[in-house]
Every structure is written in structure tokens, then in C-alpha cells.
């Protein structure tokens, strides 16, 4: 009971500390926009931003559009991650595949993601397919890199044990390589989630500017409407934050054995 109580206070301290800076920043923002310390065109007041948010979300059905963005994000992320783990497993465990493909992969991954957009838009058009392809590529790359790294660093003794016990290749993957690469894979998937959200916004910017959060931000910039831009940016951040929390929770759940090992 007392242990639970200390955990409770520890949690409270953590929450209080986490909230301190954001609250201070908001207070500073509100004060400076009201006293005219900063030009309101650059820093609209909180009420302004709030009213703009209400107008866009409720009157202009931003929620529905956000749903589409999210669906695209998750679909691309899922496709990219699954293929990424499979692809990296192949590269990490097969010497031949590694020698043949890894250098090409490393070369292609150097072309930063957004540079693919002109080519993708010419090849796949501006539709849903092009966007999902782009998001999937974004998730694929970090998942491959981290999974590969993790499997390559699987403890040598464990691999030897696998040899001694005459494991089949499938057993070696399931019992040795996947478990020991799990922390790296989790990192990769986590990064993949961040990248794919970036790609979702990128797709909305560059592949047909229209409805959606990305379109909203671009429109706000063109109209020099800082409140609108901020609403868009905050929504981007919120979605990203939720995705990140989700990934962190899953990550710590999957890696809970590490804590108990200490």
C-alpha cells in the first residue's frame, strides 16, 4: 500500500514537472499578445487560435479530413514496417543477399525521402496510391536499418548455442535473432511511425495541395493567417504526440523483460 502511495507521488511529481514549462510558455504567450509586446500578426492571442480551431474543426469538417490523413498514415506505416522487418531479416541472415542488395539499398536510401516526390508524382499520379507508396517508403527505411543492426549484433554465444542445438533456420530467427533484435526493431518501428507521419504531411503538401491538415497549413501561410497555420501545426503535433505515446507504450510493454532482468 505504501509502495503504491510512493509511486503515486512520484507520478504526481513527474506530471507537475512535465506541465511546468508548457504552462509558463502559454502564460507568456497570452501576456505578450495582449500587451502588444509582439505583433499580433506574428503571435495571435490564444482565443484567436481557439476560435479558428473551432471554426475549422466543427464548421469545416476538419475531423473527417484528419481521418483520411490518419488512415493513409497507418496503412503506409503498416505496409512499410512489415516489409521492412522481412527485408532486413533477409539481409541480416543471408550473406549473399547482404552482399548483393545492401550496397544498393544504402545508396538509394541516401536520396532523401522528399526528393522522391517529383518522381512518384509522375509515376503514380497524385492519388491515394502515390501517397501510400510514399508513406510506406518513409516507414520502411528506419525499420530496415534498425532491424538489420539489431540482428547483426545478436550475441555470438547465442548463435553458437543455436548451432549446438541444431536449430532450423526458422527456429534461429524466432528464438535467437528476433528476440535479441527486439529493442532495435522497436526503435526502428518507433522512428518509422514518426517518419511516416512526416511523409503523410509531405504527401499533402506536394502531392495535390487540397483538403487535409497539410493543405490547411499551406492555405494559412498563403493568406498570412498565423492563427490558421498554428491550428494546423498544433493538430500535426497532437497527432504526432499521440502516435508517439502509443509507440512508447507498446515499446515498453514489449521490452518489459529488460527491466526485470536488472
Binding residues vs another protein (CB under 8 A): 13-14, 17-22, 25, 42, 99-104, 106-108, 110-119, 121-123, 156, 160, 163-164, 191, 194, 197-198, 201-202, 205-206, 214, 217-218, 220-221, 224, 226, 229-230, 232-233, 236-237, 239-241, 243-244, 262
- For another protein, give the closer residue by CB, 1 or 245: 245
- For another protein, give the closer residue by CB, 37 or 108: 108
Minimum gap (Å) between residue 165 Cβ and another protein: 11
- For another protein, give the closer residue by CB, 54 or 163: 163
Minimum gap (Å) between residue 77 Cβ and another protein: 14
Minimum gap (Å) between residue 198 Cβ and another protein: 4
Minimum gap (Å) between residue 1 Cβ and another protein: 25
Minimum gap (Å) between residue 126 Cβ and another protein: 12
Minimum gap (Å) between residue 208 Cβ and another protein: 13
Minimum gap (Å) between residue 166 Cβ and another protein: 12
Measured CA to CA, the distance from residue 67 to residue 138 in angstroms comes to 20
- For another protein, give the closer residue by CB, 85 or 229: 229
SS3 sequence of the chain: CHHHHHHHHHHHHHHHHHHHHHHHHHHHHHHHHHCCCCCCCCCCCHHHHHHHHHHHHHHCCHHHHHHHHHHHHHHHHHHHHHHHHHHHHHHHHCHHHHHHHHHHHHHHHCCCHHHHHHHHHHHHCCCHHHHHHHHHHHHHHHHHHHHHHHHHCCCHHHHHHHHHCCCCHHHHHHHHHHHHHHHHHHHHHHHHHHHHHHHHHHHHHHCCCCCCHHHHHHHHHHCCCHHHHHHHHHHHHHHHHHHHHHHHHHHHHHCHHHHHHC
- For another protein, give the closer residue by CB, 89 or 142: 142
- For another protein, give the closer residue by CB, 1 or 257: 257
> C-alpha cell of 232?
494546423
Contacts of residue 81, defined as CB under 8 A and 6 or more positions apart, other chains included, come to 139, 140, 143, 189, 192
- For another protein, give the closer residue by CB, 81 or 200: 200
Residue 93 near residue 177 (C-beta atoms within 8 A): yes
Measured CA to CA, the distance from residue 217 to residue 205 in angstroms comes to 9
Amino acid at each position: 500500500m505504501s509502495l503504491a502511495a510512493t509511486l503515486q507521488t512520484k507520478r504526481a511529481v513527474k506530471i507537475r514537472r512535465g506541465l511546468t514549462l508548457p504552462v509558463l510558455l502559454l502564460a507568456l504567450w497570452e501576456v505578450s499578445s495582449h500587451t502588444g509586446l509582439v505583433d499580433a500578426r506574428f503571435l495571435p492571442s490564444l482565443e484567436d487560435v481557439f476560435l479558428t480551431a473551432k471554426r475549422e474543426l466543427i464548421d469545416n469538417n476538419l475531423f473527417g479530413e484528419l481521418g483520411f490523413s490518419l488512415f493513409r498514415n497507418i496503412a503506409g506505416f503498416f505496409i512499410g514496417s512489415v516489409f521492412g522487418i522481412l527485408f532486413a531479416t533477409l539481409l541480416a541472415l543471408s550473406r549473399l543477399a547482404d552482399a548483393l542488395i545492401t550496397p544498393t539499398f544504402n545508396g538509394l536510401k541516401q536520396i532523401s525521402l522528399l526528393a522522391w516526390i517529383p518522381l512518384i508524382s509522375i509515376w503514380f499520379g497524385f492519388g491515394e496510391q502515390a501517397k501510400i507508396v510514399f508513406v510506406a517508403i518513409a516507414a520502411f527505411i528506419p525499420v530496415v536499418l534498425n532491424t538489420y543492426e539489431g540482428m547483426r549484433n545478436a550475441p555470438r554465444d547465442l548463435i553458437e548455442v543455436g548451432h549446438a542445438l541444431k536449430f532450423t533456420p526458422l527456429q534461429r530467427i524466432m528464438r535467437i535473432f528476433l528476440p535479441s533484435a527486439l529493442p532495435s526493431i522497436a526503435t526502428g518501428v518507433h522512428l518509422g511511425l514518426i517518419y511516416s507521419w512526416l511523409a503523410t504531411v509531405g504527401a499533402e503538401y506536394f502531392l495535390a495541395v487540397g483538403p487535409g491538415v497539410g493543405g490547411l497549413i499551406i492555405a494559412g501561410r498563403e493568406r498570412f493567417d498565423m492563427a490558421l497555420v498554428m491550428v494546423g501545426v498544433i493538430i500535426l503535433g497532437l497527432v504526432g504526440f499521440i502516435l508517439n505515446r502509443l509507440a512508447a507504450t507498446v515499446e515498453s510493454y514489449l521490452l518489459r523483460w529488460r527491466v526485470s532482468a536488472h
